[in-house]
């Protein structure tokens, strides 16, 4: 069994910019910069033969390159408690089109539809043990964050293994946008 997800890997310059936003909140588990990505579709645990089918389905996708723009920050809550700090992603036609094509391709090969609405973001921290007032202060002090647009020329199928500190994401296959 292998745990898979489809994502946009972020270029080094963007990862460095995002890493400058992190730190200073006790109890927050900050995502290491090498793990920053924009999830397009979480797949989950699949058998090896199924992973081959996923690769085949993703290989058939044709989409044009597009610019990715990060702007603003926010939180995800569960039961009224802030669980995640994230940087927002501008929802462009190119991004939405690619995500839709990935979803359609994976459903056609037999995967269940994604239940959650696509909310493009880059996770910066898991915050279950951090004080709420510190998280609110962080959002207020970083909410004007903007990064210059970067060209996205491929998307990636990643495998994920849970590690002690944080998961290890391995790029398995890159698919060119052309």
Distance between CA atoms of residues 153 and 141, nearest Å: 32
Give the CA count within 13 Å in the CB-facing half-sphere of 63. Answer: 23
Distance between CA atoms of residues 139 and 72, nearest Å: 9
Distance between CA atoms of residues 39 and 70, nearest Å: 14
Residue 137, H or E segment? helix 132-142
Residues annotated as catalytic are 37, 121
């Amino acid at each position: 069994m292998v745990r898979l997800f489809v994502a946009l890997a972020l270029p080094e310059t963007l990862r460095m910019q995002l890493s400058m936003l992190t730190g200073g909140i006790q109890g927050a588990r900050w995502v290491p910069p090498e793990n920053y990505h924009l999830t397009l579709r979480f797949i989950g645990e699949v058998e090896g033969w199924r992973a081959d089918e996923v690769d085949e389905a993703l290989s058939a996708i044709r989409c044009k390159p597009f610019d990715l723009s990060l702007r603003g920050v926010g939180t995800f809550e569960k039961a009224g408690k802030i669980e995640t700090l994230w940087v927002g992603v501008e929802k462009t036609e190119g991004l939405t089109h690619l995500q839709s094509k990935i979803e359609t391709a994976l459903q056609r090969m037999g995967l269940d539809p994604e239940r959650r609405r696509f909310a493009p973001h880059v996770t910066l921290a898991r915050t279950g043990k951090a004080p709420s007032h510190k998280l609110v202060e962080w959002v207020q002090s970083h909410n004007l964050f903007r990064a210059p647009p970067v060209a996205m020329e491929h998307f990636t199928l990643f495998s994920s293994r849970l590690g002690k500190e944080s998961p290890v994401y391995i790029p398995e296959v890159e698919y060119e946008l052309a």
